[in-house]
Amino acid sequence: MINKKTEIRVRYADTDKMQFVYNGKYFEYFEVGRTELLRSLGLPYKEIEVKGYQLPLLEAGIKYKNAGKYDDILEVEAIVNELPKPVIHIDYIIRRNGTDEIVAEGFTKHIFINIDNKKAVRPPKFYLDILSPFFQNEK
C-alpha cells in the first residue's frame, strides 16, 4: 500500500450558499491528493508528461459523510492499494484535520495513454519500477 496525506484549507470560493463545501470541489481535492501522492514518489505529472504519457480519468465516485465548511483544514489521504495493471485505482479519504471525522471518501480510476496518439498503453516501466517495491510482500 502507498498513501500520502495532504492538508487543504477550505476557501470561501469552495463553498455554496449553505456555507458547505460545494460537492464538485471534493473531486478537485482528490486531484490535489493524487498529485501530491505522485510527487512524493518522484513522479510529478510534469515528469510523466515529459516521458510521453498522460493519465486521464476513467471513472470517479464519492460518498459524502459530513459537510466541510469555510476555513476548515481538511486532510486528503490518497491511497494506492495495488500495483496498476493496467488501470490505476486510487482511493481517497477526506477527514477534518486533527480528527477521525470522515467528510468524504471516494475513488478515481486512471489509465496511461501515449501523449502523442492518445492511445491507451500499459503502465510504463519507470512507473512500475517506483511503485513495485511497495507491493513486493503482497499477493
How many whole angstroms separate alpha carbon 125 and alpha carbon 85?
Answer: 12
Identify the CA nearest to 92 among candidates 111, 109, 105, 75: 105
Output the nine-digit C-alpha cell for 114: 501515449
- How big is the chain by its Cα radius of gyration, in Å? 16
Whether the model clears a pTM of 0.85, i.e. scores above it, the answer is: yes
Domain extents in the chain: 2-135
Residue 19, phi-psi category: left (phi > 0), alpha (psi -120 to 50), beta (remainder): left
The whole-number pLDDT of residue 101 equals 98
What CATH architecture applies to the domain 2-135? Answer: Roll (3.10)
Q: What is the pLDDT along the chain (139 residues), one digit of tens a residue?
A: 999 999 999 999 999 999 999 999 999 999 999 999 999 999 999 999 999 999 999 999 999 999 999 999 999 999 999 998 899 999 999 999 999 999 999 999 999 999 999 999 999 999 999 999 999 876 5
The whole-number pLDDT of residue 139 equals 55
The whole-number pLDDT of residue 137 equals 77
Q: In this structure, what are the phi and psi dihedrals at residue 48, rounded to the nearest 5 degrees?
A: -60, -40
How many whole angstroms separate alpha carbon 60 and alpha carbon 110?
Answer: 9
